Amino acid sequence: MSAPDDSHPIGQHISGLYETHIPVRDLEQSVMFYRDILGLQLARCIPERNVAFFRVGNRNQSMLGLWGSGSAPMGMRLHYAFRSDLNGVLSLPEKLRQAGQQPLGFNGEPVDEPVVIGWMPAASIYLKDPDEHS
């Protein structure tokens, strides 16, 4: 048995995640959450398509798309993560509480400080958006 080849010719050029798109029940409420609570920069809102796009990090780093789902009875909860420096993660629980948000741990339990996931390695704080996305 041979060892896996870590130098896949396409994968070696991938340096990060550029965009993520999630469904939301109420586009206006979700825009307010991501803009006013998380402080993301609204890049473009297209009302006729029921979609909004946010810049994450610098202008060309990454983007989050919010797609209004209309009145469909089925919901979907997704998980995604934003990158931050350690000071940002350490200060996040208090900032979230001040904004009326509950900081959460890996299993959804209320926490007062970041949780550490050693194998990643990562220090993390979780929270739920208006659609329960983590």
Question: The pTM is what?
Answer: 0.76
Q: Is the pLDDT of residue 73 over 80?
A: no
pLDDT at residue 18, rounded to an integer: 83
pLDDT at residue 51, rounded to an integer: 92
Q: What is the mean pLDDT of residues 90-112?
A: 93
Lowest-pLDDT range of 39-48, 75-84, 109-118 = 75-84
Q: Is the pLDDT of residue 2 over 60?
A: no
pLDDT digits (tens, 9 = 90+) for 8-43: 566 666 677 888 999 999 999 999 999 999 999 999
3-state SS record for the chain = CCCCCCCCCCHHHCCCCCEEEEEECCHHHHHHHHHHHCCCEEEEEEHHHCEEEEEECCCCCEEEEEEECCCCCCCCCCCCCCCCCHHHHHHHHHHHHHCCCCCECCCCCECCCCEEECCCCEEECECCCCCCCC
Lowest-pLDDT range of 10-24, 55-69, 91-105 = 10-24
Structural domain boundaries in the chain: 17-124
pLDDT at residue 31, rounded to an integer: 97
Class of CATH domain 17-124: alpha beta
pLDDT at residue 103, rounded to an integer: 95
